[in-house]
Structure 1
Amino acid sequence: MDEEIDVSDVDIVFAYATKYSTERGIYLTELSRKLLDLKSGARVVTIDKRLQGPFNLISTVLDPNGDLQTSTGFLWQRQ
């Protein structure tokens, strides 16, 4: 994760996270730390992995059309 990237004014982040390294299998610990810089109300979409910290899970997408095969989408909002 590039510590120099300023995300403090970003409204939406998309992370296709299926191959990101994680702690305990499903949590994007390093990305979650960086996204603490997001403003309140910003939205984050992740695929297959979950955020930690002050992010509310708004929705889970289980792919009703079958296009994602075995992937799951998560929509988060920064508190």
Structure 2
Amino acid sequence: MDNRKRDFITLADRLRLDREELAAFVGRPAATVKAWRSPSHPATPPQLVVDLLRGEVLDRIRKEVRAQGYDLIRQSAA
């Protein structure tokens, strides 16, 4: 299994969406999402889809942190 597929599965699990919800979120058929989630299936999601999931996970983390009364400060590149 390649890294993109592994990242997709990890991020999808983190979002806790069922197959239909995940398919609607990424705008693809549920059968395609099923293939992407299957370690034994050769189909790999496009990088754009992985980036979309990563962005959503980060947005949710930001919201959780802010809900606890904290703020996030962007660290400048060294």
TM-score exceeds 0.5: no
| Higher alpha-carbon Rg | 2
TM norm structure 2: 0.22
TM norm structure 1: 0.22
More helix by share: 2
More strand by share: 1
